[in-house]
């Protein structure tokens, strides 16, 4: 596992759980709005964290933490992810996995093995604009379609989420995404925030009123949709 960051406590990342967050290095997407640019472009630049440090933290926080969020970068690119998650489970902690959905076979294998208790998958845009929005021109979203279908089958609690970015997304993209995941259990529209460490530049957030308008569009097909991080 290439672990590039460890947040020892989060009350926000794992719904209704106290957790720590492990950040893995490397990603196959180049989303201009990615707020973890160094994790994607220069994984390990700021040092790497041995797996044992995570296990030592869990040992110390028994009875305090419920689970571990594994995020990135893109965790499913890590070849030894299954073994890492298995060890977390053996220690008695839950696992929440964040993914960009580009590795459906790896995701299916983890779910089959029962190694994720909650999955949060990014839905970046409509099929037509996927490549532009993820910074990989010409990208064929077929793998993302497979991951969406896998989660919609409902074998594990999940959420889809989209970071809405002015200049990248249109209202039509949101209508198309809502069609794509119609009836999903949980779908969150997140406001874009400039972390100061983005992959791209010249990006802006939609206003709160615009976000509410986008929410109205997606709720026509995904009634459970909600805003996240929008006042
Ligand atoms: S936001 Fe995009 S580039 Fe950044 S980690 Fe997620 S999928 Fe990769």
27-36: pLDDT as tens digits = 999 999 998 8
94-114: pLDDT as tens digits = 999 999 999 999 999 999 999
Would you call the peptide bond into 73 cis, given omega within 30 degrees of 0 as the criterion? yes
pLDDT band for 195, please (50, 70, 90 cuts).
Answer: confident
- If you take atom 1 of ligand 1, which residue's CA is the nearest one? 34
Distance from residue 40's CA to the centre of ligand 1 (Å): 7
Torsion over CA: 136, 139, 28, 187 (sign): positive
16-49: pLDDT as tens digits = 999 999 999 999 999 999 988 999 999 989 899 9
Distance CA 129, CA 150 (A): 22
pTM score, whole prediction = 0.96
Distance from residue 210's CA to the centre of ligand 1 (Å): 24
Q: What is the mean pLDDT of the chain?
A: 96
* pLDDT surpasses 90 at 74: yes
């Amino acid at each position: 596992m290439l672990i590039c960051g460890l947040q020892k406590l989060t009350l926000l990342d794992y719904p209704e759980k106290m957790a720590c967050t492990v950040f893995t290095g490397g990603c196959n997407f180049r989303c201009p709005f990615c707020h973890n640019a160094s994790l994607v472009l220069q994984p390990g630049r700021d040092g790497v964290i041995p797996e044992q440090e995570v296990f030592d933290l869990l040992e110390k926080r028994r009875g305090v933490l419920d689970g571990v969020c594994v995020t990135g970068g893109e965790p499913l690119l890590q070849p030894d992810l299954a073994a890492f998650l298995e060890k977390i489970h053996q220690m008695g902690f839950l696992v929440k996995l964040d993914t960009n959905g580009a590795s459906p076979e790896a995701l299916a294998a983890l779910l089959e093995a029962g190694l994720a208790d909650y999955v949060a998958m990014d839905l970046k845009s409509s099929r037509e604009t996927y490549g532009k929005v993820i910074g990989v021109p010409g990208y064929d979203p077929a793998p993302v379609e497979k991951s969406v279908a896998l989660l919609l089958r409902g074998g594990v609690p999940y959420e889809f989420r989209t970071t809405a970015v002015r200049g990248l997304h249109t209202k039509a993209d949101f209508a198309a995404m809502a069609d794509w995941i119609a009836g999903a259990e949980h779908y969150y529209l997140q406001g874009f925030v400039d972390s100061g460490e983005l992959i791209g530049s010249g990006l802006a957030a939609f206003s709160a009123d615009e976000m509410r308008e986008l929410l109205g569009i997606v709720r026509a097909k995904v009634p459970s949709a909600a805003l996240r991080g929008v006042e």
